[in-house]
Amino acid sequence: MSQYIESIIEEVKAKNPAEPEFHQAVREVGESLELVFEKHPEYQYAKIFERMVEPERVIMFRVPWMDDQGEYHVNRGFRIEMNSAIGPYKGGLRFHPSVTLGILKFLAFEQVFKNSLTTLPMGGGKGGSDFNPKGKSDNEIMRFCQSFMTELFRHIGPNTDVPAGDIGVGTREIGYLFGQYKRLKNEFSGVLTGKGLNWGGSLIRPEATGYGVVYFTEEMLKTKGMTIEGKTVAVSGFGNVAWGAVQKINELGGKVVTLSGPDGFIYDPDGVKGEKVDYMLKLRASNNDAVEDYAKKFGVEFFQGKKPWGVKVDIAIPCATENEIYPDDAKSLIDNGCIAVCEAANMPTTLEAVKMFQEAGVLFGPAKAANAGGVATSGLEMSQNSMRLPWSKEEVDNRLHEIMKRIHNTCLETADKFGTPGNYVNGANIAGFLKVADAMMDQGLV
């Protein structure tokens, strides 16, 4: 690690103590960017990376709400407006008790590079709340969303900042948020993505992140003359992203043998298919935080408190949350002959585990490239909203597929150009950086 990058990381740590996930994300990108600064000192001179690690704006606010029993509650709401060099801020909202400023800063930082890779004009942002949807009634979720938007509405807009879903925020929550925005602004616009189909949403958006990650995996496998057909896959999580990934893996002839939740994982040797895929939606909508019910319903094994990475599979697709693959997990996957790991969640693999996969020759697709299909399809939703014309399923899916192929090729070409062939992490970080950095240079002191 060069002195220059190390000093930036030290400063980030000093200014943002107690934000380890943000430090981790900056370090991962910083390591790749060394290769850029060697060739292009002009970025270093203009302090582009120092600017990128400082959000353009951070909004933090109180979210008071009342439960069904009439008891008062207060949560904290956030929106990190990280970078708008190439378009309006764009990124999801996360409702989960683990949400902190640091978690959202890491996610907003990653989003800047990811959105750049999509080739669409979107800057980077992220937001959310430490609100816990577990066990909440529909009315409680609605009141919370309305209160959240009552503050957020003044900071966002279709040309300013366009939030979407993430953990704990799906079509239902986007609906309540959109309804409140519309009342407050007296305006029907594309201010949020992930909307319902009857009120401005795009076909394929719910499936897009999962589909995209499988398209990306397929492209990685192709470089080794392989396909997904006949491969066994370990998936973690059971939410929106996992659901989309499972569908596309089945369609391409692969077999998903695991799902996981905060309670443990299920092992289904016959594969998660047919009605079991539909059941995932019920599990997610139950707000119950547990995957064990799947094992009970379909008579398969459940491993309490364990992660799925010890199961012998060809491919691993983490779809739950950050830092779920540690060096021990990486070792199990490598020892069991895993050929590809593709990140659907954001930063699910620790830095050491990423290095282990790369050194072992496992194909490794980093999140900011591999899971960009979700936000890319959000970008397509924005285009449809601007035109006031919806596209067909085929049209959106074809565009998504093309975008994922292009991102894959851009990563490979960039990795090659900077002397690290096959290193998708460097390719994604560098290609994502260059577009935003050049825009910032063009725009002066921004």
Q: Cα(429)–Cα(351) distance, rounded to whole angstroms?
A: 14
* Binding-site string for ligand 2IT from residue 327 to residue 356, where x marks contact by CB under 6 A and - marks none: -------------------x----------
Residues 105, 114, 126, 255: which is the catalytic one? 126
CA dihedral 194, 197, 202, 203 (to 10 degrees): 120
| 248 catalytic per annotation | no
Binding to ligand NDP by residue 374, rule CB under 6 A? yes
Binding to ligand 2IT by residue 239, rule CB under 6 A? no
Neighbours of 59 (CB within 10 A): 18
Helix, strand counts (H, E) of the chain: 17, 12
Binding to ligand 2IT by residue 164, rule CB under 6 A? yes
Amino acid at 92: G
Both tokens assigned to 416: 């090659």
Strands 363-365 and 340-342: parallel
Binding to ligand 2IT by residue 83, rule CB under 6 A? no
Binding to ligand 2IT by residue 399, rule CB under 6 A? no
**In angstroms, how far apart are the furthest CA atoms of the chain?**
62
* Binding-site string for ligand NDP from residue 59 to residue 98, where x marks contact by CB under 6 A and - marks none: ---------------------------------x---x-x
Among residue numbers 252 through 281, which ones bind ligand NDP (CB under 6 A)?
A: 261-262
Task: Please identify, using beta-carbon distances, which residue of 346 and 429 lies nearer to ligand 2IT.
Answer: 346
Binding to ligand 2IT by residue 156, rule CB under 6 A? no
Binding to ligand 2IT by residue 166, rule CB under 6 A? yes
Q: How far is the CB of 209 from ligand NDP (least distance, A)?
A: 4
Q: Cα(279)–Cα(297) distance, rounded to whole angstroms?
A: 10
Q: How far is the CB of 25 from ligand NDP (least distance, A)?
A: 12
Task: Please identify, using beta-carbon distances, which residue of 118 and 332 lies nearer to ligand 2IT.
Answer: 118
Both tokens assigned to 77: 């709401």
Only segment of 30-38, 89-97, 143-151, 382-390 that touches ligand 2IT (CB under 6 A): 89-97
For 378, the 3-state DSSP assignment is helix
CA dihedral 57, 404, 434, 16 (to 10 degrees): 40
Q: How distant, in Å, are the alpha carbons of 113, 209, 279, 288, 303 from that of 282?
A: 33, 19, 5, 10, 21
Tell me which of 55, 92, 190, 348 binds ligand 2IT, using CB under 6 A.
92
Please check whether residue 85 is in contact with residue 440, taking contact to mean a CB–CB distance below 8 angstroms: yes
- # chain residues binding ligand NDP, by CB under 6 A: 25
Binding to ligand 2IT by residue 81, rule CB under 6 A? no
Both tokens assigned to 434: 């260059």
Torsion sign, CA atoms 220, 224, 229, 230: negative
Q: Cα(15)–Cα(6) distance, rounded to whole angstroms?
A: 14
Q: Which DSSP category does 300 fall into? A: -
Neighbours of 132 (CB within 10 A): 16
| Contacted by 193, from ligand NDP, ligand 2IT, none: CB < 5 to 8 Å by type | ligand 2IT
* Binding-site string for ligand NDP from residue 10 to residue 39, where x marks contact by CB under 6 A and - marks none: ------------------------------
Interface with ligand 2IT by CB under 6 A: which residues? 90-92, 111, 114, 164, 166, 193, 346, 374-375, 378
Annotated catalytic residues are 126
Interface with ligand NDP by CB under 6 A: which residues? 92, 96, 98, 165-168, 209, 237-241, 261-262, 284, 289, 319-321, 344-346, 371, 374
